[in-house]
């Protein structure tokens, strides 16, 4: 019999397999002095719009793949369990979205943290850091030299980033915890319902066997 812990592990695996890839940072070697060229790694404005056809199509396909993975594992036997899987799919998708929001929030916070730590230590710190993230190699060298010169470690940058994004991360973590609780509760309900049905079927079978024996013994006595 599939247990709650098995269902939870499978849900996490299915979710990981269907999670859309996270955006990567541009690594171009130079920055154009004229109009900057578009970074192919960065999403276009059209792709970010809520009703972008390509965005909707991709998300629909990924959600459906996740739903099929859950159906394959949980093997719903009735409409109630099918509806539960639909809810599980939505909750799992929401959990993945919250994790992506958390990573993006941290990424922007790291940029802000780098600027704060370099203000007063590097000339035009904000512009230099911004240029570095756009792929300017010279700006990268300036930032790296400044970090080494003043002994600013990656741990210090990460700590400052988390301090700057503390409120945002706290909200996202609370939402993720609430979503995970709903997922766990739904999986327990599925398991409990199946256990009750199994006990009911076992009791009915036992009663049927007892009744058959009683009828047979009555016929023999007659």
CA distance 166 to 37: 34
Under 8 Å between Cβ of 120 and 211: no
Query: Roughly what angle, to the nearest 10 degrees, separates helices 166-221 and 4-18?
Result: 140
pLDDT band at 208 (very low <50, low <70, confident <90, very high): low
pLDDT of residue 10: 55
Three-state SS string over 92-126 comes to HHHHHHHHHHHHHHHHHHHHHHHHHHHCCCCCCHH
pLDDT tens digit sequence for 99-142: 999 999 999 999 999 999 999 999 899 999 999 999 999 999 99
| Section 74-89 average pLDDT | 90
Under 8 Å between Cβ of 73 and 92: no
CA distance 66 to 86: 10
Tokens of 16: 């990981």
171 pLDDT higher than 90: yes
| Section 143-148 average pLDDT | 94
Look at residue 47 and tell me if it is in a domain: no
Look at residue 51 and tell me if it is in a domain: no
| Section 69-97 average pLDDT | 91
Look at residue 192 and tell me if it is in a domain: yes
Look at residue 44 and tell me if it is in a domain: no
218 pLDDT higher than 60: no
Look at residue 152 and tell me if it is in a domain: yes
pLDDT of residue 73: 86
Look at residue 37 and tell me if it is in a domain: no
Look at residue 31 and tell me if it is in a domain: no
pLDDT tens digit sequence for 22-71: 444 443 333 333 334 445 544 454 554 555 566 566 778 888 888 999 89
Model confidence, pTM: 0.62
How many distinct structural domains can be found in the chain?
1
pLDDT of residue 23: 43
Residues 6 or more apart whose CB falls under 8 angstroms from that of 60 comprise none
H or E segment at 214?
A: helix 166-221
pLDDT of residue 60: 81
pLDDT band at 17 (very low <50, low <70, confident <90, very high): low
Residues 6 or more apart whose CB falls under 8 angstroms from that of 16 comprise none
Look at residue 113 and tell me if it is in a domain: yes
pLDDT of residue 198: 74
Please give the residue that has the higher pLDDT: either 196 or 49: 196
Burial (CB count within 10 angstroms: exposed 0-12, middle 13-18, buried 19+), residue 120:
exposed
pLDDT of residue 28: 36
If you average pLDDT over every residue of the chain, what do you get?
A: 77
Secondary structure class of 192 (helix, strand, coil):
helix
203 pLDDT higher than 80: no
pLDDT of residue 38: 47
Under 8 Å between Cβ of 7 and 191: yes
Q: How far is CA 118 from the centre of its chain?
A: 33
The boundaries of the domain holding residue 147 are: 7-18+56-221
pLDDT of residue 4: 53
């Amino acid at each position: 019999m599939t247990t709650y812990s098995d269902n939870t592990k499978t849900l996490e695996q299915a979710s990981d397999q269907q999670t859309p890839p996270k955006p990567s940072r541009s690594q171009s070697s130079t920055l154009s002095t004229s109009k900057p060229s578009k970074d192919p790694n960065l999403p276009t404005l059209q792709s970010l719009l809520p009703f972008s056809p390509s965005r909707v199509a991709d998300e629909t396909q990924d959600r459906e793949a996740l739903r099929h993975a859950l159906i394959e594992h949980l093997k719903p036997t009735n409409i109630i369990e099918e509806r539960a899987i639909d809810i599980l799919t939505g909750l799992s998708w929401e959990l993945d979205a919250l994790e992506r929001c958390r990573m993006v929030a941290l990424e922007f916070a790291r940029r802000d943290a780098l600027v704060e730590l370099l203000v007063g230590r590097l000339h035009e710190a904000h512009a230099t850091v911004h240029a570095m993230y756009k792929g300017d190699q010279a700006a990268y060298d300036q930032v790296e030299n400044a970090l080494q010169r003043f002994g600013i470690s990656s741990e210090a940058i990460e700590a400052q980033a988390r301090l700057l994004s503390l409120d945002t991360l706290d909200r996202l973590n609370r939402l993720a915890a609430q979503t995970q609780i709903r997922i766990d509760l739904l999986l327990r309900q599925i398991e409990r319902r199946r256990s009750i049905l199994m006990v009911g079927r076992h009791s009915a079978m036992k009663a049927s066997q007892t009744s058959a024996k009683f009828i047979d013994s009555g016929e023999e006595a007659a």
